[in-house]
Amino acid sequence: MNAVPRRRMVPAYLATGGRSRPGTEGFERLTVLFADRTDRAEPPAELEPEHRRLWELLRPGALTVVEAAAHLRLPVSATVFLAADLVEAGRLHARAPIPRAQQTDRSIVERLLVGLRALR
């Protein structure tokens, strides 16, 4: 490879400058991020450092956006940008906190209540 590693003057996660970025709408603090279990390869060379850090963090297992942000010491919004880039590139998967859309509010709170009582 003869390409010189490029480093943006402004990191990718700041380059958006607060503008809305297509593809981030569905993300929230509890969006679950995970990599393919079969994805044992070295990080793709094209990944920039911040993207690579997120990808490496998630290689062993799944985390929510907010947990990834805390471990990487990045703002939640920045983590969302990075995650959206990686999902777009097919390097990560994201799923909503509540997997099945047909869950009702009531059934969710019932699960919470039953679960809490079981710990008591």
Partner 1 sequence: MDSVRSGSPVDRPGRVGYLPDRDQLLMKLVVAGPFGVGKTTLIRTLSEIATLHTEEAMTETGRPVDDLAGLPEKSTTTVAVDFGRLTLPGNTVLYMFGTPGQRRFFPLWQDIARGALGALVLADTRRLADSFEIMDMVEEQGLPYAVAVNRFPDSPDHPSEVLRAHLDLHPTTPLLLCDARERDSSLDALIALAEHVLDTLPAASTDAEERP
Give 88 or 110: the residue with its C-beta nearer to partner 1.
Answer: 110
Residues forming the site for partner 1 (CB under 8 A): 28-30, 32, 34, 42-43, 49-50, 52-53, 56-57, 60-64, 66-67, 69-73, 75-76, 95, 97-99, 102-120
Cβ 3 to partner 1 shortest distance, Å: 16
The residue whose two tokens read 């947990």 is 67
Cβ 65 to partner 1 shortest distance, Å: 10
Cβ 51 to partner 1 shortest distance, Å: 10
Give 16 or 32: the residue with its C-beta nearer to partner 1.
Answer: 32
Question: What is the number of other CB atoms lying within 10 angstroms of the CB of residue 3?
Answer: 7
C-alpha distance from residue 21 to each of 29, 42, 88, 100, 116 (Å): 16, 28, 12, 26, 38
- C-alpha 51/C-alpha 96 separation (Å) is 21
Give 2 or 119: the residue with its C-beta nearer to partner 1.
Answer: 119
